[in-house]
Structure 1
Amino acid sequence: MIAVFAVAPVVVITLLVGLRGVAAMRTTSDFLVASRRVSPLLNSAAVSGEYLSAASFLGVAGLVVKDGMGALWYPVGFTAGYVAMLVLVAAPMRRSGAVTVPDFAEARLASTPLRKLAAVTVLVVAGLYLVPQFRTAGLVLSVVSDSPYWVGVVIAAVVVSVTLALGGMRAATYVQAFQFCFKLLLFIVPAIWLLLQVGPQVRHEAVHPVPFTHFSHDTAVDFDLEVTLLLDEPLTVRTGDGRSLTIPAGEYRVADGSTLVFPAGAAVPGVRGGAAPGGPDWSRPLLDVNDADHPLLGTWAVLVATMFGTMGLPHVLMRLHTSPDGRAARRTAAITVGLLGVFYLFPGVYGTLAKVLVPQLYLSGATDTAVVALPSQVDTGSTGTVFTALLTAGAFAAFLATSLGLLLVVAGAISHDLVPGGLARLRFTVVAAAAVVVLLALPSVKLDAGVLVTWGFTVAASTFCPLLVLGIWWPRLTAPGAIAGVAAGLLASAGAIAVALFGPPLSGLPALLIAQPAPWSIPLAFVTMVGGSLFGRPPAWSSAAMLRLHLRERPGFDHRRSRPPARDLGHSSWSARRSSAARRVIRRLGR
């Protein structure tokens, strides 16, 4: 019943807004970039709503329970990425007149193969980002109700695909802006209520953590995922149906769907691949990724991936193209930094309280559900039920808002960049892509949402970040060099992810560099792109292409009418319009 009251209003409002966008849907530009008429304030709210995904609303707090205080570096990287985007990318990207990232690649370098490669990269990044959205929607709905995991996955897919097919980017903009305000309210108010409700003792334990070594009371743990427990001595527990079960010392595999009740005073078992909340390693403000025993390098790996990955996220970059001009795009990025900064003040509150109130979630591997599990631990009455419903609604809004943007870039990559078509093909692609993501999300319940999203950032940082930075700021970039760099970054990052998922278990430094390849895959892409470009010469029209990225637009300037095809960027009419100031810009960039 909680799920119905929580999810139904979010679903209904999302669909109604989608219907509102139908009347304004006439062209591909309407569908993909809302005719470039979105104001900075509305756009920044939409960007924030799109960006604050399941990994932010639930995942950061879950990572604090699982990995300790070092997990708070994730939001630092997420927000810092927008500062880099503001300085390096926002305005020039909008001035390019492109619609998608692959569109920008072809407009800058006049290379159809580069456009196709960029479109494939968009599909990889969006897939890694979309699967955890649908996966967490199913997991959260199954926690707060008796519904199977697949129900939440299917609901999220249907709502997102129908909304986009009806209203495109315009509908997504209004939905995401509304859902950001909705999520912010439903994240802050319950956090304040929890802090007031738990009392001084819990607040003291939250900021002075004690290792979770023994159960303080009879504790039921629902294992939604298969988990291997590590016991130093035999332990007698009760199963979900009340039977007594003695677990021998050593390793014990708990099947998914099981429930075990641990008695008060019993020692907490270890978990393969995890550390109990509250210990010295948990309190350390660094991340020891994959228990590699390189916490400083692990922290830098996450920061590099999240910061530079933000600059290359295709669904965020597409939002820049909805701005009226480059100045509006820069304002959008600046306001977004402030909005995200407010939101990210609170995941740590939920994470530290969850460590005290629901530390057993680390046993079951369901730390992503810590936020929605807290209210019922504080208040077992109607008030706790209401706040559980509110947090569930906010979480579902997070899944939908992010999925809208991601599904839109998938449709754009397929039906605008790979196989160009009209509105009908774009709408069909949205529905078909959502169905494919559902099939990928159903077997992904065992994967950590935060890990999947970080991998998406890693691929974006290793491919689009070098392409954008060099494409905007280095006049000597050539199409062969760009293709080589994007391919190297994609193969390196995606290959490392494949090894982490399907390869043999690793330990130490190799485990860290495979699980978080950003420290070496990003430099590899930059070096390959620069080296490949130095062996060739940029075409004569590349100066004109650079000019369009850096010169401020004239009042009333309309990119849709003025933008020449990539093959015509060196036309004499463009060359004739270069002023002495423009030549100075090119000389400065070339130094």
Structure 2
Amino acid sequence: MNPALDIAAVVLVLVATVVLGAMGVRFSRTTGDFFVASRSVRSVWNASAISGEYLSAGTFLGLAGLVLLVGADGFWFPIGYAAGYLLLLLFVAAPLRRSGAYTIPDFIEARLESKAVRRLTSVLVVVIGWLYIVPQLHGASLALKVVADLPEWAGAVVVAVVVCGLVAAGGMRAITVVQGMQYWLKLTALLVPAVVLLIALSGREPELSPALEPLQAFPVELGPAATHPYATGSLMLALLLGTIGLPHVLVRFYTSPDGGSARRTTVLVVAMIGAFYAVSGTMGLIARVVTPDLAHPGLADTVVLALPSRVLPGPVGTLLTALVVAGAFAAFLSTSSGLVVSLAGVISQDVFDGSVRSFRLSAVLCVVVPLGVALLTGPEALVSSVGTVFLVAATSLTPVILLGVWWRGLTARGAAAGMLVGALTCGAALLGSALVGETLSGADAALAAALLAQPAAWAIPLATAVVIVVSLRDRDRVPSRADRYLARLHLPERRREA
């Protein structure tokens, strides 16, 4: 590695981000510009921007590290991530765009005619967003420490400052331009090294290290839950349904011109993120041959940074490493900016007056809190920490969003009860797993530990059942405009106008 060249690559990414963001800032004037880019983002660029913010530190660094640790089992994560967008395409994308909302709390309030449920939704959205921002800041700290031996706080602070300035200055319109560019940079930053490394290794006989066991534990699951079949199925359910509850993903559909455009955007996103996952997974498979010494939870997330110089210890490897570092920083910036802009919209409307000025103040608040958490905590395995965010979203917000789009009988009390039960159940299970998971042993204990470590398979049905049961017992409180609002969600724009 060449620290000076790697830092130069980071600086170039930062400069490109600021320059492109400044171009977007020139057109950001109205509230619509800041919140949803005036609903004017076309399908190809919107898909690039969505892919740019969705492919986070957990994917860019963590996926290859996970494949290094567990082999083919690591591909369950990208399968779940990508398939989640198929559910968005089928059930959510077009109706949410037709809702006319700016944020998820906007949609919930309009659907259920309840400010109390809106406030609860806002709290959950902010918590989920902050939980997702922290791994991005940890990833930035890890990258700069590995390639340039800078203090652990440096990467987090750099990303926080740039993201805060970009979002506060130009909102959604500014970051859309930046995130579209960053997707293609991230794809290039892994695709080029992967192709070069495969060519360089094509004449070698692969020898897997005996130290690499095929069923090593997922980094986050240290204990008897790690290899239980239930854990994999429950994890997949969390990833599939969690995508529907991620605020920075859903807000993107509000930027499309109409419902049909939102669907076309989602199809393109599936193709784009699928291509990226294939390349990232390939880097992990290469790592199992080249860098088995990094197959430890504390080191695996650095493998894509180490691979080029291990295979090509010379100028080519140095240049490829700098390219990977640039892509990694693009990942941290794009996901963080998408999260901050979605959270700033929520806080601006629910805490302040919803103006452009309050949006900018909210953006600062949305960065300061997760930055403080990141500086006070150490990075865990990136893929697994991001997986926890999907779990929280799937158990708390997803059932209400799906039922809000497709079931007339949903009531405010039912939605509030389901969100509370889902969030509290998920939190209690994860806390219980952390407290007792490692002390259990035996087959029955392994199942119990898996139930706590991966509660999606029972927590999501529980939360959904609570929503339905409470709503059925509260039939006289079904919103009076429910039929009219559902027609708005499901009828194409031209038919409604006719």
Compute the RMSD of aligned alpha carbons: 2.0
Query: Cα distance, 1:14 vs. partner?
Result: 0.8
1:400-419 per-residue CA deviation (whole Å, 9 max, x = no partner) reads: 01001111122122112344
1:284-319 per-residue CA deviation (whole Å, 9 max, x = no partner) reads: 99x977442653211112211111111111101000
- Taking the aligned partners of 1:397 and 1:293, their CA distance within structure 2 comes to 32
Query: Cα distance, 1:280 vs. partner?
Result: 4.0
Check whether the contact 1:165–1:427 (CA below 8 A) recurs between aligned residues.
Answer: yes
Is 1:416 aligned to residue 349 of structure 2? yes
- Taking the aligned partners of 1:105 and 1:298, their CA distance within structure 2 comes to 32
Aligned to 1:535: 473
Other structure's SS at 1:21 match: helix
Counterpart mapping for 1:208-223 below 5 A: 209-212=208-211
Change (3 A) 1:345 1:289: farther
Query: Cα distance, 1:129 vs. partner?
Result: 0.9
Aligned to 1:215: none
- Taking the aligned partners of 2:222 and 2:461, their CA distance within structure 1 comes to 20
* Match 1:406 to one of 328, 336, 339: 339
Query: Cα distance, 1:556 vs. partner?
Result: 11
**Structure 2: which amino acid aligns with 1:172?**
I
* Match 1:461 to one of 373, 390, 394: 394
Unaligned residue ranges in structure 2 (runs of 5+): 441-445
- Taking the aligned partners of 1:76 and 1:499, their CA distance within structure 2 comes to 28
* Match 1:441 to one of 374, 377, 381: 374
- Taking the aligned partners of 2:246 and 2:12, their CA distance within structure 1 comes to 29
Other structure's SS at 2:278 match: coil
- Taking the aligned partners of 1:201 and 1:505, their CA distance within structure 2 comes to 41
1:120-169 per-residue CA deviation (whole Å, 9 max, x = no partner) reads: 11112111211000001010111001211110110010111111111110
1:357-387 per-residue CA deviation (whole Å, 9 max, x = no partner) reads: 2222234712111111101111211111100
Other structure's SS at 2:292 match: coil
- Taking the aligned partners of 1:385 and 1:78, their CA distance within structure 2 comes to 31
- Taking the aligned partners of 2:480 and 2:83, their CA distance within structure 1 comes to 36
Counterpart mapping for 1:88-487 below 5 A: 88-201=91-204, 204-205=206-207, 209-212=208-211, 277=212, 279-282=213-216, 290-292=223-225, 294-363=227-296, 365-487=298-420
- Taking the aligned partners of 2:278 and 2:296, their CA distance within structure 1 comes to 27
Aligned to 1:523: 461
- Taking the aligned partners of 1:289 and 1:542, their CA distance within structure 2 comes to 47
Q: Relative to structure 2, which stretch is displaced further, 420-429 or 171-180?
A: 420-429
TM-score norm. by structure 2 comes to 0.93
Aligned to 1:226: none
- Taking the aligned partners of 1:345 and 1:89, their CA distance within structure 2 comes to 26
TM-score norm. by structure 1 comes to 0.79
- Taking the aligned partners of 2:485 and 2:100, their CA distance within structure 1 comes to 11
Counterpart mapping for 1:67-78 below 5 A: 67-78=70-81
- Taking the aligned partners of 2:273 and 2:148, their CA distance within structure 1 comes to 30
- Taking the aligned partners of 2:328 and 2:46, their CA distance within structure 1 comes to 21
- Taking the aligned partners of 1:446 and 1:400, their CA distance within structure 2 comes to 17
Query: Cα distance, 1:438 vs. partner?
Result: 1.2
**Structure 1: which amino acid aligns with 2:299?**
A
Is 1:552 aligned to residue 460 of structure 2? no
Query: Cα distance, 1:103 vs. partner?
Result: 0.7
Query: Cα distance, 1:175 vs. partner?
Result: 0.5
**Structure 1: which amino acid aligns with 2:423?**
L
- Taking the aligned partners of 2:433 and 2:379, their CA distance within structure 1 comes to 14
Change (3 A) 1:446 1:317: closer
Change (3 A) 1:458 1:450: same
Check whether the contact 1:290–1:515 (CA below 8 A) recurs between aligned residues.
Answer: no
1:78-105 per-residue CA deviation (whole Å, 9 max, x = no partner) reads: 0000001000000011111111011100
Check whether the contact 1:497–1:515 (CA below 8 A) recurs between aligned residues.
Answer: yes
Query: Cα distance, 1:349 vs. partner?
Result: 1.4
Is 1:513 aligned to residue 451 of structure 2? yes
Check whether the contact 2:36–2:254 (CA below 8 A) recurs between aligned residues.
Answer: yes
- Taking the aligned partners of 2:221 and 2:376, their CA distance within structure 1 comes to 27
- Taking the aligned partners of 1:555 and 1:184, their CA distance within structure 2 comes to 39
Check whether the contact 2:223–2:437 (CA below 8 A) recurs between aligned residues.
Answer: no
Alignment size in residue pairs: 487
Query: Cα distance, 1:504 vs. partner?
Result: 6.8
Aligned to 2:27: 24
Query: Cα distance, 1:334 vs. partner?
Result: 1.0
Is 1:83 aligned to residue 86 of structure 2? yes
Change (3 A) 1:106 1:370: same
**Structure 2: which amino acid aligns with 1:90?**
A
Larger Rg: 1
